[in-house]
Amino acid sequence: MVLVEIISGSTSDEDIVGSVEKTLESLGVSFRSHVASAHREPEKVKQIVEASEASVFIGVAGLSAALPGVIASHTLRPVIGVPKDVKLGGMDSLLSIVQMPPKVPVATVGIDNGKNAAFLAAEILGVGDSDVLRRLAEVRGFKQA
Ligand code: AIR
């Protein structure tokens, strides 16, 4: 079963998606990746979210980055947003992702920080998954999970 669903707004986000994937792999967390733009393909985003059984979503997007918020509008599961630096040093994307309206949160990591998105996803999963927690503890150098 896939634990984390990754959605990015464009194939041009592949560098950040790659760091999310690599980090999830190192933590032994299963994932699936999709490209679907909130602005260009809103129905596709909705379909991916509604069909997903994953426990956590990660949305990666630059510019006017609606994607993580749109994912969150379709699910009660946690959504992590990764702002991508395309213009303005990524501040446009960061502010788009972090400024969600009440009741529809997106946990936002730093600009281009796909690695932290993967770690945060693993920490969320680790609350109920002792295998993931053990792996996290090893990687972070904790003696006990
Ligand atoms: N994007 C795609 N649809 C809506 C947005 N905000 C973002 C992508 C990418 C950037 O726009 O996530 O970071 C540029 O996309 P492209 O396809 O033109 O390279």
pLDDT in tens, 13-50: 999 999 999 999 999 999 999 999 999 999 999 999 99
Number of structural domains found in the chain: 1
Tell me the CATH number at 13. 3.40.50.1970
For the chain, what percent of residues have pLDDT higher than 90? 97
Q: At 112, which amino acid appears?
A: D
The domain of 107 spans: 4-140
Q: Of 10, 13, 82, which is best to mutate to test ligand 1, by the most ligand atoms within 8 angstroms of its C-beta? A: 10
> Ligand 1 centroid vs 48 CA: distance in angstroms?
18
pLDDT in tens, 117-145: 999 999 999 999 999 999 999 999 998 66
Quick one: pLDDT at residue 145? 60
Quick one: pLDDT at residue 45? 98
d(CA 57, CA 68) in angstroms, rounded, equals: 8
The verdict on residue 67 lying in a domain is yes
- The reply to whether the predicted model has a pTM over 0.95 is yes
Q: How far is CA 74 from the centre of its chain?
A: 15
